[in-house]
Structure 1
Amino acid sequence: MRHVGLKARMAVVGSILFGFYMLLAIVAMAYGAPLVLVLLGTVLFAGFQYKFGKWAALRSVRAEDMPEDRYPNVHQSVERLCSEMDLEKPALKVADMGVPNAFAVGRRGAGVVVVSTELMHLLDHDELEAVLAHELAHIDNRDVITMVMGQAVASLLGFAAYFAIAFSREGGIGNIILGYVASIVVQSVAMVFVLAISRYREYVADDDAARHVGGDAMAEALEKISTAGTRGDAELDDNVSALCIFGGERSALERLFATHPPIEKRIEAVRGVEREYY
């Protein structure tokens, strides 16, 4: 079985988030919401958040379709990698992000890979292929769905905590402030479980890419992206940044809640990994 560690982490985190979700449903029923309405709302919310999360990520960077006649090398590389991964070719989009970056959204059979124009100008062919392989690995490993849904559930729990406290019977400005603080705490606790797989999934995608393109190409790509990324002025949405190959440099405190592992550790992990021929 491939990537047992990642699958085990996703199963555990998914179960915990589902538990949070069911607890919220039980609370809603305790306040008088009908069972049918709660079940219907649960299904509709999950579907809406998946679709909305994908749409919002693409819209936030103004991603546009990547014409094959203008970017033939990118399309050819993706087609080769998809053949090796036994993966249906995802839709390819291009965006001006202000920084060299890339991210993937969606699932197998309905995935989208977004590549910034800055990234294509920065990297050599092998390095760009490594980044493309990294993003395809996320779709292949199905970890993108876990990230998007995890972020959505955490946000929902935060909103629920706010409204439950801020609009309680007592009311008042004190409850509004307390509700705001509670929403941050609850959302942060839920995100701890999402972050438990976020950093690990980056190592797995790096390793997958290294085995398809070569570890040195992956390492060089990461090094160039991180160097250029720290000089960039663009600020990506936090949810999109969590999906990107490079999440930005963080302070010591911010690293505790970072979505990406330190770039130097990622480079060290893939450097020298031999390419496997399929």
Structure 2
Amino acid sequence: MRHTGLKLRMAVVGTILFAFYAAAGLVVYAMYGPGVIPLVVVGSVVLIGFQYKVGKWAALRSVGAEDMPEHGEYSRIHQEVGSMSRDMGIDKPRLMVADMGVPNAFAVGRKGAGTVVVSTELLRILDRDEVDGVLAHELAHIANRDVVMMVLGQGIASVVGIVAQFVVLLAGDNDLADFFLAIIVGNVVQFIVMLFVLAISRYREYVADADARRAIGSGDPLARALEKISRGAEGRESKVDDQVSALCIFGDGGSMLSKLVSTHPPMEKRIERLRT
């Protein structure tokens, strides 16, 4: 799918992330010389690969996701997902169901090995066309490689944060105060890098909504689904942890601070866009 706006934003943020990564590399180069650079590169690849593999497994395990049977009450969902996947040019993902405490859904993996998880609570409160809208949204995330790009951004933020910690430790006296200062500086640097990743993540939600609207021919079913999901989550305790919540179709974003660090744009804005 062609998304000029997303590509331009990715180019800008990608350049900024590369600049942070290059700066971290230059610091390591200055401290240890050129021989350590290959180790930094290999270590970065291993770290990001580890985060991707373990993150996917942990997300599914944390919600107790189970495979969705292809026959019986879920047969229509499998057929619809198969059809939409072909239209989007991706392999049909593995479908799973879980009790999340609230109506929600999320996708993990890449085009050739994706997984979509929907909550039993979501299936109970949504009509068929609304479920299709949610599924189309999650398939769009897989088609657009959103999960992979999110993990890549988080990996770069982690590497830069780790380098910042080492710089503080080596520049100090290696006492307890330097240790705590290194942790604080590393977290602050990592947070600053993640702000750029989160900004792209919020825009990707709009893109996935738009792709879902094209896939099912209308934005109204997904808009109605988002309204029901938002109402259905009120007063309920979610079983989804913060890491998995970043992947879900429903996320928070009320105050200015939460909007800044949220992975999702405000729900009302998403609904408004789907209906215009």
1:17 and 1:145 map into 2 onto residues whose CA distance is 15
Q: How does 1:164-203 map to 2 (within 5 A)?
A: 164-166=167-169, 168-203=171-206
TM-score normalised over the length of structure 1: 0.89
Residue 186 of structure 2 aligns with an amino acid whose one-letter code is S
User: Aligned to 1:114, what secondary structure does the other structure show?
Assistant: strand
Counterpart residue number, 2:109:
106
What corresponds to 1:14 in structure 2?
A: 14
C-alpha displacement of 1:149: 1.7
Match of 1:242 in 2: 246
Give the aligned residue type for 2:219: G
Q: For residue 235 of structure 1, report the CA deviation from its aligned partner.
A: 5.2
Which position in structure 1 is the counterpart of 2:156? 153
1:5-47 deviation per Cα after TM superposition (whole angstroms, max 9, x unaligned):
1122223323322332333333334343634323332332332
1:171 counterpart SS class: coil
| Alpha-carbon displacement from aligned partner over 1:139-161 (angstroms, at most 9, x marks no partner) | 11122211122123223333333
In the TM superposition, what whole-angstrom CA distance separates every residue of 1:127-177 from its partner, at most 9, and x where no partner exists? 000000000011111222111221232233333333442465412332233
Question: How far apart are residue 249 of structure 1 and its match?
Answer: 5.0
Deviation digits for residues 221-254 of structure 1 (CA, Å, limit 9, x no counterpart): 0000111123221253322211111113533331
1:45 to 32, 47, 56: 47
Amino acid at match of 2:99: D
Match 2:272 to one of 242, 246, 268: 268
Aligned to 2:26: 26
Pick from 128, 132, 138: which aligns with 2:131? 128
Structure 2 stretches lacking a partner, 5+ long: none
Deviates more, 1:20-29 or 1:103-112: 20-29
- Partner-residue secondary structure (3-state), 1:67: coil
Letter in 1 for 2:178: N
What CA distance in whole angstroms lies between the structure 2 residues aligned with 1:8 and 1:98?
A: 37
Aligned amino acid, residue 71 of structure 2: D
Equivalent residues of 2:100, 2:121 under 8 A apart: yes
Q: Output the CA distance in 1 between the equivalents of 2:59 and 2:20.
A: 24
Q: What SS does structure 1 have at the residue aligned with 2:110?
A: coil
Is the 2:102–2:233 contact (alpha carbons within 8 Å) kept by the matching residues of 1?
yes
Tell me the SS of whatever aligns to 1:97.
coil
Letter of the 2:244 partner, please give it: V
Would the aligned equivalents of 2:246 and 2:263 in 1 still touch at CA under 8 Å?
yes
Q: Which residue of 2 aligns with 1:208?
A: 211
Give the aligned residue type for 2:12. V
- Write the letter of the residue equivalent to 2:199: A
Whole-angstrom CA distance in 1 between matches of 2:43 and 2:183: 24
Q: SS at 2:137's partner residue?
A: helix
Calculate the TM-score normalised by the size of structure 2.
Answer: 0.90
Does the CA contact (< 8 Å) of 1:166 and 1:177 recur in 2? Answer: no
Unaligned runs of 5+ in 1: 273-278
Aligned length: 272
State whether residues 134 and 222 of structure 2, in contact with CA within 8 Å, keep that contact through their aligned partners in structure 1.
yes
